[in-house]
Amino acid sequence: MNRFIPGWTKRELEDSLKLVRETIMPNWDIHPEMISHTRVIDIKTGKPFAQATPEFMENWEWSQKKSADELAAYQAYALNILKEAGLPCEGLTTPGGYGGRNQDNLA
């Protein structure tokens, strides 16, 4: 979203972000529900991991086994996408199940 959306022109993306900034943001908080809401993104490459299994889904097994630092880095990556897109943010929402069995590290 901060660089491109497949199938959209750069102008369409810029117009859409402008609409969000000018029309939605004055009345709504914009925040990430992690990066993809489904498949885990490799924050070093910006691409999804090749495995499409529960172990590589944000709200399934992946987040249950990560350290506080790993979860924080992943969440910071999600927040930075919005920052780079010019959408200031004050928090995030965890997708259903994200870190549900890993509350100590998620907190």
pLDDT of residue 18: 94
Residue 77, pLDDT above cutoff 80: yes
Give Cβ neighbours of residue 103 (< 8 Å, ≥ 6 apart). none
Residue 1, pLDDT above cutoff 80: no
Q: Is 0.85 topped by the overall pTM?
A: yes
Burial (Cβ within 10 Å: 0-12, 13-18, ≥19) of residue 66: middle
pLDDT of residue 81: 93
Mean pLDDT, the chain, whole residue set: 92
Domain boundaries, the chain: 10-106
Q: Which of 73, 81, 100, 83 is nearest to 35 (CA)?
A: 81
Percent of the chain whose pLDDT exceeds 90: 74
CA 3 – CA 82 distance, rounded (Å): 11
The answer to whether residues 78 and 41 touch, using CB atoms and an 8 Å cutoff, is no
Mean of pLDDT values over 44-53: 94
> In angstroms, what CA-CA distances link 88 with 84, 93, 106?
9, 15, 22
